[in-house]
Amino acid sequence: MFFLSIIFIKLSDKCKHNKYVKIIFLIVALLLPCIMAGLRAIDIGTDVKVYLRPMYECAHSANSFNEYLQLKVNKTRVVGNFEIGFTALIFLVTKLFNNFQAVMFFVELMIIIPIYLGIKKANYSKENSIWLEILSFYFMFYNTTLNLMRQFIGLSWLFLGTIILFSNDKKKNLKFLIILILACLFHKASILSLIIYAFYNILKINKMIKLGNIIISLKKLLMIVVCCVGIGIMLNADILVNLLELFGMDYYSTYISGSIKLYISTFIKNAPLILIILATRKSFLKDIKNSYIFLAIFIYSIIIDQFTTVNVYAARIAFTFSIFNCLFFPTILKSKNCRKNYILKIVYVFYLLGFWYYYFVYCGGNETIPYKFYFL
């Protein structure tokens, strides 16, 4: 499915003369992952049984939206305990189609569409193909979207909102905040993207300052400060715990409360990505727009991942930052000084294959492999 979708993306890119055929190829490319999500069995994706199927059954039996919100999803939670955007989506699709496969299809569609729009908007040149970014998303995150559905709807919209924020749009701040509110209606942890909003406002400063006889870029100095703050938070998790509780996310504070150890496997997992950064360090900071911001986001994804030594579910918080990897690294590989560096591209593609196989096949992450159709 991954490669079929990419083939149709490429066909859409190459179809310059017939816009209708171009649109058809694109629609097919984006529908394929949604159809695969919709046709999966109920035990593909951990949270399908945990809350999606029970919410569908509640919506199916309810005579009104208010009644639906009062019905129990499990022994401790009712539908109304979940974010209103997600509950409304499930209720609407259930009443319109009366089919659980349609519900899973539309949930995935709510993830794929903003991811595509964000990647497309980030590729400023019309000649740039986006196949590598889409392929990166598939290998890094598609299987996880079949499990963490609420979170990834929020993350995908924030991905689009952040790309808009990084653009030259005159109303980009307003649009970002509107999309942030929308994302929070699907998953309240989306509020953590305000950290990225802070990165943008801090690291967009492009001035030189003089410290004695030394002239240094203020952006580089602020980058060091941002990274030091992140390391400080990692060493003193109580700061982040207090922030989460301040925003009403006490539930997520349990993910990071405890003694943190160095999580070596995080660095092993990201080693090929770190290799790409080191190999292109002289060029990508100059060639790529907002490169310092993307680099800060990548560093924070590694920092937050260290909290998995306290609670394995802390990786869910790290997705707020790591979602941008599917754009950041393909963009590096397409930069001016890296276009002919086929070795790095081969390393990256093998990394994607290895990452997907290890985490989703070998480790069984998100319980999506082996994939099964609902009718078999």
Asked whether the predicted pLDDT for residue 265 surpasses 90, the reply is no
Place of tokens 């301040």: 246
For residue 238, what pLDDT is reported? 61
Quick one: which H or E segment has residue 322? helix 315-322
pTM for this prediction: 0.89
The single-letter DSSP state of residue 348 is H
Tell me the C-alpha distance between 148 and 145, whole Å: 5
> Are 196 and 297 a contacting pair, CB within 8 Å?
yes
251-263 confidence digits (pLDDT tens)? 555 555 555 566 6
Q: What are phi and psi for residue 113, nearest 5 degrees?
A: -60, -55
Nearest to 73 by CA among 95, 96, 93, 50: 50
339-360 confidence digits (pLDDT tens)? 667 787 888 889 999 999 999 9
Query: Bridge-partner residues for 217, per DSSP?
Result: 208
212-239 confidence digits (pLDDT tens)? 677 777 777 788 888 787 777 666 656 6
Query: Which of 126-135, 197-206, 282-291 is most confident?
Result: 197-206
Q: Which has the higher per-residue pLDDT, 14 or 315?
A: 14
DSSP assignments along 153-221, one per residue: HHHHHHHHHHHHHTS--TTHHHHHHHHHHHHHTT-GGGGGGHHHHHHHHHHT---EEEETTEEEEHHHH
For residue 250, what pLDDT is reported? 60
Residue 361: partners with Cβ closer than 8 Å, 6 or more residues away:
369
Q: How many residues does the chain have?
A: 376
Nearest to 227 by CA among 130, 326, 135, 293: 293
Q: What is the dihedral of CA 321, 323, 327, 328, to 10 degrees?
A: 30
> Are 170 and 298 a contacting pair, CB within 8 Å?
no
Residue 88: both structure tokens together? 């409304």
Q: What is the dihedral of CA 244, 245, 247, 252, to 10 degrees?
A: 50
> Are 298 and 328 a contacting pair, CB within 8 Å?
yes
**248: alpha, beta or left, given left = phi > 0 and alpha = psi -120 to 50?**
left
> Lowest-pLDDT range, 149-153, 245-249, 283-287, 297-301?
245-249
Asked whether the predicted pLDDT for residue 94 surpasses 90, the reply is yes
160-210 confidence digits (pLDDT tens)? 999 999 888 889 999 999 999 999 999 988 888 888 888 888 887 777 776
Residue 318: partners with Cβ closer than 8 Å, 6 or more residues away:
301, 304, 305, 307, 308
Burial 164-196 (b: 16+ CB within 10 A, else e): bbbeeeeebeebbeebbebbbbbbbbbbbbebb
Mean pLDDT calculated for residue range 58-76 = 93
